[in-house]
């Protein structure tokens, strides 16, 4: 077996599915798990056939947080000296889109991992939360930052300060997740794979540019962001996919589906 803590597959030639697989620990995010996840992500990023990735857990837990048992005896010198958790952010460096398909618990680092993905789909059983406050710590991988940007200050404060879990329905109403799918085992993964397939059918370069543009909205002023967007937009006119998609000799004019070559 290639990995110990995750499973990988390609349910579609153009989509990688990564499943967190530490069922006995509710997918607690251990060091070993993260190394494997990073390895699988890097492989998907390099695979020319792959246009999108789906990250999921089990029905009971997407991930119940950082591995508390691994973390509990660490001292400041350990966590600071070894820059604890710095390898958690590799997923945010992906150019290809990553969809989180969340069932059950997405708590602490699990919620933060979902928020590092580009789109979150939730099953009706999903529960999101930042319970770190109950452990005498605070979120350390985006729970005070990405969550605040996603749901605003008041709701982020409530979640982070009380440590209570929110339901899938609340998460959708608050804009944390893009959709709560219908009931049924496996439904959230099924819909995430469909969405990933749709994204993978588009031109790879324009998908990457679009993702870069949306992410820039979190970093830049509106003026700079719009400038960056326009430059990205203009740059796509250097691609074959733009010619195929929009020009007189391309798919739109000929009323057919575009055949993108990712060039």
Catalytic positions: 66, 109, 112, 132
The encoded tokens of residue 250 equal 């391309």
- How many residues touch ligand HXC under the rule CB under 6 A: the total is 21
**d(Cα 134, Cα 137) in Å, to the nearest integer?**
7
Q: Which of 51, 109, 203, 245 binds ligand HXC (CB under 6 A)?
A: 109
Using CB positions, name the residue nearest to ligand HXC.
Answer: 108
**d(Cα 147, Cα 139) in Å, to the nearest integer?**
10
- The sign of the CA dihedral 165, 168, 169, 170 is positive
The encoded tokens of residue 209 equal 């540019």
Q: Which of 85, 133, 150, 232 binds ligand HXC (CB under 6 A)?
A: 85
Helix, strand or coil, per DSSP, at residue 125: coil
Give the interface segment with ligand HXC, choosing from 65-73, 150-158, 176-184, 189-197 (CB under 6 A).
65-73
Q: Which of 5, 105, 128, 260 binds ligand HXC (CB under 6 A)?
A: 105
CB of 38 to ligand HXC, least distance (A): 15
CB of 138 to ligand HXC, least distance (A): 8
The reply to whether 66 sits near ligand HXC by the rule CB under 6 A is yes
Best CA proximity match to 70, nearest among 87, 91, 90, 85: 85
Give the interface segment with ligand HXC, choosing from 115-123, 131-139, 212-220, 242-250 (CB under 6 A).
131-139
The reply to whether 69 sits near ligand HXC by the rule CB under 6 A is yes
Give the interface segment with ligand HXC, choosing from 63-71, 187-195, 221-229, 254-262 (CB under 6 A).
63-71
DSSP percent split of the chain into helix, strand, coil, nearest 5: 45, 15, 35
Which positions from 28 through 47 interact with ligand HXC, judged by CB under 6 A?
28
The reply to whether 108 sits near ligand HXC by the rule CB under 6 A is yes
* Helix/strand number for the chain, H first, E second: 11, 10
| Beta carbons within 10 angstroms of residue 103's beta carbon | 26
Q: Nearer to ligand HXC by C-beta: 51 or 104? A: 104
**d(Cα 250, Cα 10) in Å, to the nearest integer?**
31
């Amino acid at each position: 077996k290639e990995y110990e803590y995750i499973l990988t597959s390609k349910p579609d030639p153009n989509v990688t599915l990564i499943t967190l697989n530490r069922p006995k620990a509710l997918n607690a995010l251990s060091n070993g798990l993260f190394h494997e996840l990073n390895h699988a992500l890097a492989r998907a990023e390099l695979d020319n056939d792959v246009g999108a990735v789906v990250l999921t857990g089990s029905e009971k837990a997407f991930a119940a947080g950082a591995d508390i048992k691994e973390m509990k005896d660490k001292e400041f010198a350990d966590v600071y000296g070894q820059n604890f958790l710095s390898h958690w952010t590799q997923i945010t460096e992906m150019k290809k889109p990553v969809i989180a398909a969340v069932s059950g618990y997405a708590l602490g680092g699990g919620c933060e991992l979902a928020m590092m993905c580009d789109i979150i789909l939730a099953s009706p059983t999903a529960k999101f939360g930042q319970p770190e406050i109950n452990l005498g710590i605070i979120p350390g991988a985006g729970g005070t930052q990405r969550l605040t940007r996603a749901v605003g200050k008041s709701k982020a404060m409530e979640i982070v300060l009380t440590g209570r879990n929110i339901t899938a329905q609340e998460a959708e109403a608050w804009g944390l997740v893009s959709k709560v799918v219908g009931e049924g085992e496996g439904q959230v993964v099924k819909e995430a794979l469909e969405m990933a397939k749709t994204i993978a059918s588009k031109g790879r370069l324009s998908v990457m540019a679009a993702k870069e543009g949306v992410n820039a909205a979190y970093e830049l002023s509106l003026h700079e962001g719009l400038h960056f967007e326009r430059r990205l937009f203009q740059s796509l006119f250097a691609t074959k996919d733009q010619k195929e998609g929009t020009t007189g000799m391309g798919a739109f004019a000929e009323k057919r589906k575009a055949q993108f070559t990712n060039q």
